[in-house]
Chain A
Amino acid sequence: MKSTITALPVAALLSSLLLLSGMASAAPELSMEIKAEREVTLTDDNGNTRTEKVTADTAAPGDTVLYTLTYTNSGDETATNIKIDNPIPEGNQYLPNSAWGDGSDLYFSIDAGKSFKKASALTYQIDGTTRTAAPENYNAVRWVIKSIPAGTNGSVGFSAVVQ
């Protein structure tokens, strides 16, 4: 009994080691960073204005906060079928047409992230009529990216108004 017990784990260990080394040698390793920023308009003595982005440690109701989501694949294999889901935070309202992201497909949700659709397909029924959801009603954003090659990074983002 004892010998068989010993024999089995060795085989299992071997196979799992092989598997591990296989994963370690080639795997995507995605990381994500979020920035929340605000645009501040400054006017110089000559009346010229310029806009600066500052980190939003604080914001007042009515302020627009720009969220930038930066992903990095620090692994050694391409990541595929990437879905970046971002619920619109409580106390924020999605700013229409503010979502962006190169090489990504944009979807939105009006049911707190249960289902995502293209903006034009995001409809709801009221009194038997079908209406297209207003961007203010979006409560989650999804970016779908086909692949992120190893060693590359990119950004997506959106803006929201503090309520």
Chain B
Amino acid sequence: MKTQAARYLGAALLAGSVFVPTALYASTAANTTISNTVTVNFDDASGNAQTAVVASVSFSVNLVASAPIVSAPADVNPATESTLYNLVHSLTSTANGPDTYNISGASVDSNMDGSATFGGDATIVLGATTLAADFAAGVTTITVPFDGTDDGVVNGLAAGDLIVIDPTGTGEPAVIDSIDESTGAATNVVTITLTAATVNAATAGITIGETASTTTTVTTNTVTTPPSGTHTVTVTYTSAADAGVTATDDTVYTVVRSALTVTKYVRNATTANGTGTSIAFGGETYYDSGVNGNPGETMEYLIVIENPPTYADAQNIVVSDPIPQFTTYTAATIQLDANGGGLVAQDDSDSGDAAEFDGGANIVYVYAGATGSDGAAGFGNGTGGTLAGGETSAVIFQVTID
């Protein structure tokens, strides 16, 4: 009935009136032709039977817009600032015919500098129909009303479409193998063949809705005060046939400020020298610049990773450091101070601790932070550790100048 609001709006406006929608329900597919035929048998005055008179009238069934069923993806925590995320929803029609759904996004923000911004799919079209006849469990063909056009597409449903039979009931998924509309004009019903037999039985009038996925892109804003803020993102699907029919899903993005600082220092372990900013670590002095060395001398690098106080945990911290040109990595010289507990020597192998040296690619990998591990097979595949706010991780390794 709601869809008729638009239909009668013109007349209503002319009459200075507004249409009042009433309760609605759906079970005959949109675009179905309903014909009423009457037969009159009668006699003449003498009681002689006369030829029967037949008359008929028909009308077609309108779309009744209905809120689609929207999946509820998991909240995103942690999310990073100014980052684009794909928010994918699965949408299933519960209407009695095809409808377009307009997609819009909005965010309610807490401790963020602004709202999230949205992009991605603007609309999605979902076909839908209803069952014309009961079917038992284990069938592969079902009948639905003819939509008036023999084009192999019945009320927006086509071969290959993923459908849900009785989306608000048994919710049985199925895939359309083919559609035969050749009988439509004669019988007013068409046959849909499914790729697999049905699990459940169903009765005439039950909805068959197409299901498809949509992607809305959500770009996070920046956190106002560290460590984190939230975007509560609401994606709304609005029926194009009836703007009063909507379905929504809320997804919370907990945005954590990425605040790790990484500083790299070096010292000449053979002949100490340096003029830049220095740092004392493990009883040695390292410089951020002004260090020189002769061929054959050993240089020791120090990488300091800090997560500032008050900031949220930084997770999965992976340090990858290609060995500089004209130097050669000195085997078994990697040491790691995971999160302030002191340096621990690491082996170069692909497993066993929290660091590994990829001799082929000439890269040092260190899984810094607490509980980092190089256990996963293959270089660079380990799991980085965690640094809480205010914690520091340090990595040391040596090279010789060629």
A residues apposed to B, CB below 8 Å: 26-28, 30-36, 40-45, 49, 56-63, 65, 67, 69, 71, 77-87, 89-92, 148, 162-163
Contacts and interface: CB of A to CB of B under 8 A. Distances in A.
B57 A84 contact: no
A59 B61 contact: yes
A54 to B, nearest CB: 8
A60 B3 CA distance: 8
A42 B15 contact: yes
A19 B17 CA distance: 61
B44 A80 contact: yes
Contacts of B56: 34
B392 interface: no
A79 B64 CA distance: 44
A31 B40 CA distance: 9
B43 A79 contact: yes
B28 A91 contact: yes
Interface string B77-107: 0000000000000000000100000000000
Given A32-B53, A81-B47, A162-B34, A60 B20 contact: no
Given A28-B45, A44-B17, A84 B38 contact: yes
Shortest beta-carbon contacts, A-B, top 7: A34-B57, A60-B62, A42-B17, A32-B55, A82-B42, A86-B38, A81-B43
Nearest to B62: A60
Interface in B267-281: none
10 contacts: A42-B12, A43-B19, A61-B26, A62-B26, A67-B57, A71-B40, A85-B41, A91-B61, A92-B34, A162-B34
B40 A30 contact: yes
Contacts of B145: 91
B363 to A, nearest CB: 66
Given A62-B25, A90-B188, A92-B36, A43 B63 contact: no
A26 B1 CA distance: 50
Contact of A61 (B15, B20, B22, B25): B25
Interface string B53-72: 11111111111100000000
Nearest to A42: B17
Contacts of A27: 44, 50
